Amino acid sequence: MAYIQIRYECRAPAEVSPMTLDEVYETTLEQIAWIDAQGFPVTVNFSEHHGSEDGYLPSAITMAAAAAAITRHVRLQVNVLLPYRDPLQLAEEVVVLDRISRGRVELLLMGGFVPSEMETFGVDPKRRGELMEEGVRVLRQAWSGEPFEYRGRRCRILPRPVQQPHPPLFMGAASPAAARRAARIGDGFIAVSSLNEHYLAECAAVGRTPRHQGAMPFSYPYVCKDPDRTWERLAPYCLYETNMYARWQASASQGGMFKPATDADALRALKIYQPVTVAEVLARAPGFAPNDALVLHPLISGLEKELSWEGLRLFFTEVAPHLDIRPL
C-alpha cells in the first residue's frame, strides 16, 4: 500500500529551465489531465510561495481550480500559507473549488517561514501560531453555514462546500510545537517524518485518531531505466531547488530536508532526489506502510518536457499498476 502525491510548484528559473513560465503552466495542466485519465486514486499537490524570481506558484487555489475543471478523479491538495490569508475570503474560495471539483479538494495549511514573505504580507512571525489557530477555527465556522462572530463582526459564509462537514484540513509543520498543534486542531498531518513522533504523542494525549503521512521511502523518486545517465540530466534542476530552499531555510534560521550542495555528486549522496528503476521501487513496495508516501516531482525547477514525461509515464504504466494506492 502507498499514498501517492504528485507535486507541482510551477517554477521556470532562467538558470536551468528551457521553458517559459507559461509553458510550465501549460505542461502542468497537460500532465494532470493525463494522470487523471490513468484512473489511480492519487493526490495532486499545489505548493505556494510568494515573490520568487523563478515564478514559484503564488496562487495554488487558482491552479487547482484550473485542474479541477479538466479532471474527475484525482484529489486536489492545495498548500495555503494561512497567516497570510483572510480566512473568510479563503473559506469562500475553497467552497467554489470544492464545488468545481465535486468534492475532491483538501487543504495543507502551513504557517510560512520565509522572512521576505512575512514582510510582504505584514505578518509578525511571533504570531504565526496564534493566526493558525484562529484561521482553522474561522474556516470550520464559515463552512458550517451558520452565523458566527469574527473579530467583533457577525459573519455568515454561503454556499457550503460539497464535502461535509468540510474539506479536510491537513497541517504541515517545521517544529515540534507546530506538530502538536496539528494534532490538536487539524484533520491530518503532512511533514517530514522526524516530526511524526510529536504529532502522534499529542494525538494520544488529547484522544484524537492520527491521520498522517508516514515515511518517504525514496524521498523524491524519479523512475527511469538508467539512473546514472538520468541523474546527469536531472541534477542541475535538483541542485537549483535544494539550494533555493536551503537559502530560504537559512534566512529563517530553520532546518529542513533540503541541504545546500555544491555539485551533483554531493547532492546525490544526500538522497533527497533519487533516480530509481522500476525494479527498485517494486522490490521495496511490499514493505510500504499504508501511509508511506511516494512523492513525485515531475516538473522540478521547470524540468525539460521530454525528461519530465519519461519519468511520469514510466511510473504510471510500470509501477502504479502494481501498488495498492490509497488516499491519505
CATH number for the domain that contains residue 306: 3.20.20.30
| pLDDT given for residue 179 in this prediction | 97
In a domain, 139, yes or no: yes
The DSSP result for 270-311, as a single string, is HTSEEEE-HHHHHHHGGG--TT-EEEE-TTGGG--HHHHHHH
**Mean pLDDT of all residues in 126-151:** 97
Q: Which helix (H) or strand (E) holds 106?
A: strand 105-110
**Stated pTM of the model:** 0.96
Instruction: Report the C-alpha gap between 71 and 66 in whole angstroms.
Output: 9
Structural contact between residues 222 and 273, judged by C-beta atoms closer than 8 angstroms? yes
Q: Which helix (H) or strand (E) holds 148?
A: strand 148-150
Name the amino acid, one letter, at 184: R
Cβ-Cβ contacts under 8 Å for 272 (sequence gap 6 or more): 219, 220, 238, 242, 257, 258, 259
Cβ-Cβ contacts under 8 Å for 172 (sequence gap 6 or more): 79, 108, 109, 110, 111, 178, 182, 189, 190, 191
Instruction: Report the C-alpha gap between 173 and 307 in whole angstroms.
Output: 32
Among candidates 301, 310, 285, which has minimal Cα distance to 218?
285
Residue 156, SS3? Answer: coil
The range of the structural domain enclosing residue 151 comes to 3-217+296-322
In a domain, 207, yes or no: yes
| pLDDT given for residue 260 in this prediction | 86
| pLDDT given for residue 216 in this prediction | 93
Domain count, the chain: 1
User: The cell 494532470 sits on which residue?
Assistant: 32
In a domain, 12, yes or no: yes
pLDDT tens readout for residues 80-125: 999 999 999 999 999 999 999 999 999 999 999 999 999 999 999 9
Structural contact between residues 325 and 2, judged by C-beta atoms closer than 8 angstroms? yes
Angle at 102 between CA 309 and CA 185, to 5 degrees: 95
Question: What pLDDT band is residue 152 in, cutting at 50, 70 and 90?
Answer: very high
Predicted confidence (pLDDT) at residue 257 exceeds the cutoff of 80: no
Rounded (10°) angle between helices 60-68 and 21-38: 50
Specify burial of residue 122 (Cβ count, 10 A radius: 0-12, 13-18, 19+). exposed
| pLDDT given for residue 52 in this prediction | 96
62-95 b/e with 16+ CB inside 10 Å = b?
ebbbbbbeebeebbbbbbbbbbbbebbebbbbbb
pLDDT tens readout for residues 287-322: 999 999 999 999 999 999 999 999 999 999 999 999
